Structure 1
Amino acid sequence: MLEEYKDIQYQISDNKRWLYNIHNDRMIVSEHSLENYLQDIENPENPLHDFYISTYKRGKLTNFHFIRIILESSRINFFYKVSLFLNKGYLTLFMLIISLTLLPSLLRMDPVDPNYFLLTKFSFWDMAMIYLVTTTVILPLHEYAHFAVYYKYLKPSKVTFGFSLRYFSMPVFFIKVPFYKVLKGKKRNELVLAGVKFQVAIWFLLTLFTVMYPSKFLLGLIIVNLGLIITNLLPFLKLDGYWYLSNLLGVEDYMAYFKAMFLKKKKFRLDVCLLGLINFGMIILSIISFLADIMRYFV
């Protein structure tokens, strides 16, 4: 469990002190004892005073937070037990098999035309509703599933969430899990995969509803949700697959390791080098695609 003092959360792990300031989104990791400074942190002479009073910055240019909300964790724990239940591997596998098995039959259903499997065949209003449900329901539930596992092991009293723009082109909902790196092995993998597992559950439920009440709208949600599952499993752009692959590689963040290699702070690894180059390529393509869309809109 996390300790907390004046909205500063802290944990001792691997002989390191991890301190996180909820209000300004700053993290300190040190091998020196810092917890004693917390008692007098409002004193300007205290080494942690700047960490305590400094203002919040809305992330980086490549991950800009334009909406951020801080709440007591207990106020959003209504899906906590449900989320953990759906995170069980055997249940995810069962729902995945059923959803994949029923997918072909959905495309042959009347009145759903197989051509509607293409999102370009949907009406403007269908697309608007699909986008609204995706951004206000599916993506927040995905992120909450991550937080449910985080809360299971660390029990933070407050939670920070909101919307950010990643790589100038990807609007995403986020929930902060700053002590993610404290978790090890299976616990860390459980947290990383929790969001995708919840989306498999959403896919399963949407499939059942579509079987009972065939509609283009429900089929559209299935398509978009499935696309998001596949996208999140990609090991690039700091999506879920990125962090899972980092765990498999035995590094906390393979792009951080990639950059450290070229600064000669880390031993050269060919696998990390190749992945880093591909990831840079994906970021550049994402930005180019975003700029091309803007150009097409104004031209």
Structure 2
Amino acid sequence: MVQMIEELHHIQYSVYRDERWVYNVRNDRMIVSKQPLENYLGEMDDSANPLYDFYHSPYKRGTFTNFHLLRMIVNSSKIDFFHKLVLFLINRYSMLVMLALSILYLLRFSEQLQYSVEQFSLSQFSVGELGMIYLTAVGIVLPLHEYAHFSVYYKYLKPPKVTFGFSIRYFSMPVFFIKVPFYRLLSDKKKNELILAGIKCQVAIWFFLSVLHMVNPSHFVSGLLIVNLGLIVTNLLPFLKLDGYWYLSNFLKVDDYMIYFKNMFSSKATFRIDILILGILNYILIALSIWSFTHNIITLFT
């Protein structure tokens, strides 16, 4: 069943159980209320309207640790064809076929390790090749990964507009993002489907890169194949707000385990040892990520 997201004056809203979920597309603000808000969505320029500040407050570029560099808002209908194509690629049967064939080719691909371990190290690539691999990963692979998330989101909620762009997370991670503000309205099963969609899309990319490498085993394609596999493994990690992070949060029956972690110290949430351990590990990895980025920058200029 599709739960439609309505929109009026760039305000998206939905009624879920006894709550009103209202999202301002222009300034990326969300409010949830048990009070009826539909009557306030009409005249938004009236300063007496309780939603006046919510509607007119300026857009903030994310947070200090997740800063938005670029943001665009487009009508979802303009990219309707692409989400159908992505859904076809990541369906269960397509995935099984592409994953099986990709693993079979990987066995052949990895046989070369017996002859040259250096061939699979990124240190073998020139600065220009690394730049092209990096730009392709950030400009094509990651956007497709994120768009796969939105495809599942659009499948169930049909939002009239989509917001996407690039951000820097933890001062070191370039990230393409697509907003899915009504994600929490989905059932646990649908949430998992949305979370895993990005990794499934990268499995499809892995398959197409394998075919391309089999036809034309170029240096560039080899490097991109290695980077894509690395990104798949990285995104499975249950930390740093990667896909594995959200999958684990859903498994633990919380919206966001780091928010729950912080709430435990202000007595807003019941103490849980599993989330305490995960929260500490997550902070350690954030610190290591920032340290590694800083170290690499210093090394580059010394």
Gap runs ≥5 in structure 2? none
The corresponding residue for 2:144 is 141
Equivalent-residue separation in structure 1 for 2:48 and 2:179 (angstroms): 30
Residues 116-163 of structure 1, C-alpha deviations (whole Å, 9 max, x = no match)? 211111122221211121111111111111111111111111111110
Return the offset for 1:76.
2.3
Report the Cα offset of residue 114 of structure 1. Answer: 5.0
Answer yes or no: is the 8 Å Cα contact 1:106–1:211 preserved in 2.
Answer: no
- 1:127-166 equivalences in 2 (<5 Å): 127-166=130-169
Q: What residue number does 1:211 align with? A: 214
- After superposition, residues 167-246 of structure 1 pair within 5 angstroms as 167-246=170-249
- Is 1:250 the counterpart of 2:253? The answer is yes
- CA distance in 1 between partners of 2:221 and 2:131 (Å): 13
Report the Cα distance in structure 1 between the residues aligned to 2:226 and 2:34, rounded to whole angstroms. Answer: 48
Q: What is the DSSP-based 3-state SS (H/G/I as helix, E as strand, rest coil) of the residue aligned with 1:18?
A: strand
Provide the C-alpha distance between the structure 1 equivalents of 2:284 and 2:215, rounded to a whole number of angstroms.
Answer: 43
Q: What's 1:38 paired with? A: 41
- Once residues 173 and 77 of structure 1 are traced to their aligned partners in structure 2, the CA distance between those partners, rounded to angstroms, is 19
Q: CA RMSD in A?
A: 1.6
Distance 2:284 2:14 in 1: 36
Question: For the Cα contact (< 8 Å) 1:145–1:198, is it kept in 2?
Answer: yes
Partner SS state of residue 156, structure 2: helix
2:204 & 2:106 partners in 1: Cα distance?
A: 14
- Per the TM alignment, residue 17 of structure 1 is displaced from its structure 2 partner at its CA by 1.0
Separation in 2, partners of 1:118, 1:298: 23
State the secondary structure of the residue aligned to 1:69.
strand
What runs of 5+ residues in structure 1 fail to find an aligned partner? none
Answer whether contact 1:163 1:174 (CA < 8 A) is retained.
Answer: yes
- 2:106 corresponds in structure 1 to 103
> Distance between the aligned counterparts of 1:91 and 1:279, measured in 2?
34
Q: Tell me the SS of whatever aligns to 1:90.
A: helix
Residue 41 of structure 1 and its aligned partner are, at CA, apart by 2.4
TM-score by length of 2: 0.95
Q: In 2, Cα distance between the equivalents of 1:105 and 1:178? A: 42
Aligned AA (1:8): I
Find the partner of 1:274 among 255, 261, 277.
277
- Mapped to 2, the partners of 1:285 and 1:31 lie a distance apart of 41
Name the residue aligned to 2:53: 50
- Equivalent residues, number: 298
Deviation at 1:77, TM superposition (A): 2.6
CA contact (8 A) 1:203 1:222 kept: yes
Q: Is the 8 A contact 1:106 1:210 kept in 2?
A: no
Given that 1:107 and 1:114 are in contact with CA atoms closer than 8 Å, whether structure 2 keeps it comes out as no
Determine the structure 1 residue equivalent to 2:27.
24
Alpha-carbon distance, 1:113 to partner? 5.4
Structure 2 CA distance, aligned partners of 1:114 and 1:228?
A: 20
* SS of residue in 1 equivalent to 2:67: strand
Percent identity between the two aligned chains: 58
SS of 1:214's equivalent in the other structure is coil
Letter in 1 for 2:34: E
Runs of 4+ in 1 over 4 A off after TM superposition: none
Q: TM-score, normalised by structure 1?
A: 0.96
